[in-house]
Structure 1
């Protein structure tokens, strides 16, 4: 039998794993899973970051389109409000004139 203490670390590991195939396969499977899990976690983080950027771009574009659609309506509303204010001031002026006329008639 070979003296295991005189062997290097790699040789000792080889001898240990070659004795038991189940342990060898379990270690290889575990190391493989760890490697790919770390790799996929990094990939998923990148994908999530890209999705977040895409969602932000889509939301910004939608907001821009909504603002483009709303702006003419707001402008029309402002013009209408201006016309209504003008009509109200004319009506108030006319009412004041009528009240003044009625007051003058009563005197």
Structure 2
């Protein structure tokens, strides 16, 4: 048994072994370490997958919300536009009436001023 350990130690010290051989020898010593490493790697893999899936879902939600907001803004603008047009027409009519009233008032003042002379 000690020869086997010694053999493994010599193999680990041997730099001529490839990386995969060294990793195999390292992990074959202890099953707990091997299982822990495998568990950690699978955890990392699935967490990264889960995070990327959630990022994709969030991006899709954001796009959907933006689309809904844009559609709602469009609907609101469709409903507001006639009101704004009517308001602009009314304001134009009011401005016309005010200018006519000012003109009439100026004419009346002019008439009164000349009448007093």
Normalized against structure 1, the TM-score is what? Answer: 0.77
Aligned-residue Cα RMSD (Å) equals 3.2
* CA distance in structure 2 between the aligned counterparts of 1:47 and 1:35, rounded to whole angstroms: 18
**After TM superposition, where is structure 1 displaced by more than 2 Å over at least 4 residues in a row?**
1-21
Unpaired runs of 5+ residues, structure 1, are none
> Which structure would you say has the larger RCO, counting Cα contacts within 8 Å and 6 or more residues apart?
2
Q: 1:82 to 1:12 in 2, by over 3 A?
A: closer
Of 80-89 and 20-29, deviating more is: 20-29
Following superposition, the deviation at residue 86 of structure 1 comes to 1.3
Q: What is the total number of aligned residue pairs between the two structures?
A: 107
Unpaired runs of 5+ residues, structure 2, are 1-10
CA deviations on 1:36-70 (whole Å, 9 max, x unpaired) are 01211221221122122112211211210121121
Asked whether the equivalents of residues 4 and 12 of structure 1 are also in contact (C-alpha less than 8 Å), the reply is no
